[in-house]
Amino acid sequence: MRTGDAISGVDTTRGFIPTRSVIAAAGPWTISLFKDIGVKLPVLARRTQACVTTPIPHCIDQFIRSGSIWLNQTLAGNVMVGGGGPWESVGFDKECSLPTLQRFARRIQQVVPAVKNARLLRGWSGCLDLTPDFQVIVDKVREIEGLVVAVGTSGHGFGIGPAIGQICAELATGRKPSLPIEGLSLYRFPPDFDFDSTYKATPEPL
């Protein structure tokens, strides 16, 4: 909640919590939160999907990324495959789609032919928060004093989460960031940049 141009607290299901600092880090749903306070983020929500096969003999030692897919094999022998691209729906749709699962099946056979006869066990999907350059935004929001945002991890939030958390804590408590974040500014894109209209839905060639 804001009072004028400054944070005054957070309204929760357990009541109002007064505070002068808030860290907004709700993944793709940060977009909706910022719309409510009149600040547009250069971020899109896009569906991403994954699936897992039935167990097969060991054939993958590493975590592999090839083009738009990633894959690895569990100790039990299941092969996990996932990924996404601009052909996926923009928004908060979390339904699994058959065309994407078929894409995974074709691509994985090209990357690891030994997986050819594996059967699909199950699939699932979620949403990613994407920036135009696929780099995270972590910054103070100039329009609202006391508001810090961390959004747009673009699929690599688990890896950079600890460092981003430390930076957010430093920004929210008035300390200088212990890591350089100039390139991660919320304001690094032109004010009139229209992410929606420049987003291209061009599938990766198979």
Contact 129, 30 (CB under 8 A): yes
Determine the Cα–Cα distance for residues 116 and 118; give it in Å rounded to an integer. 6
Categorize the per-residue pLDDT at 196 as very low, low, confident or very high, splitting at 50, 70 and 90: low
Residue 122, Cβ density class (10 Å: 0-12 exposed, 13-18 middle, ≥19 buried): exposed
Categorize the per-residue pLDDT at 73 as very low, low, confident or very high, splitting at 50, 70 and 90: very high
Is the same domain home to 52 and 24? no
Q: Is residue 90 part of a domain?
A: yes
Residue appearing with tokens 């929500």: 45
Of the three residues 126, 142, 166, the one that is the final residue of a domain is 126
Which pLDDT score, from 0 to 100, does residue 181 have? 94
DSSP 184-196: G-TTSS-TT--HH
> Looking at per-residue confidence, does 9 or 202 come out higher?
9
Long-range CB pairs of 56-62, under 8 A, 24+ apart, other chains included: 56/114, 56/115, 56/117, 56/118, 57/114, 59/112, 59/114, 59/115, 60/112
Determine the Cα–Cα distance for residues 47 and 62; give it in Å rounded to an integer. 25
Of the three residues 126, 142, 169, the one that is the final residue of a domain is 126
Take residue 191 and report the two structure tokens written for it: 């004010």
Percent of the chain predicted with pLDDT > 90: 58
Determine the Cα–Cα distance for residues 9 and 11; give it in Å rounded to an integer. 7
Contact 96, 89 (CB under 8 A): no
Is the same domain home to 53 and 23? no
CATH assignment at residue 24? 3.50.50.60
In the chain, the number of structural domains is: 2
Q: Is residue 76 part of a domain?
A: yes
CATH assignment at residue 96? 3.30.9.10
Q: Is 64 helix (H, G, I), strand (E, B) or coil?
A: strand
Cα torsion 18, 157, 171, 192: sign: negative
> Looking at per-residue confidence, does 205 or 63 come out higher?
63
pLDDT tens readout for residues 24-50: 999 999 999 898 888 889 998 999 999
Of the three residues 75, 102, 126, the one that is the final residue of a domain is 126
CA dihedral 125, 129, 133, 135 (to 10 degrees): -100
Nearest to 188 by CA among 146, 148, 136: 136
What average pLDDT does range 157-182 have in this prediction? Answer: 93
What average pLDDT does range 169-188 have in this prediction? Answer: 95
Is the same domain home to 113 and 60? yes
Q: Is residue 16 part of a domain?
A: yes
Is the same domain home to 35 and 54? no
| Residue 71 structural domain | 48-126
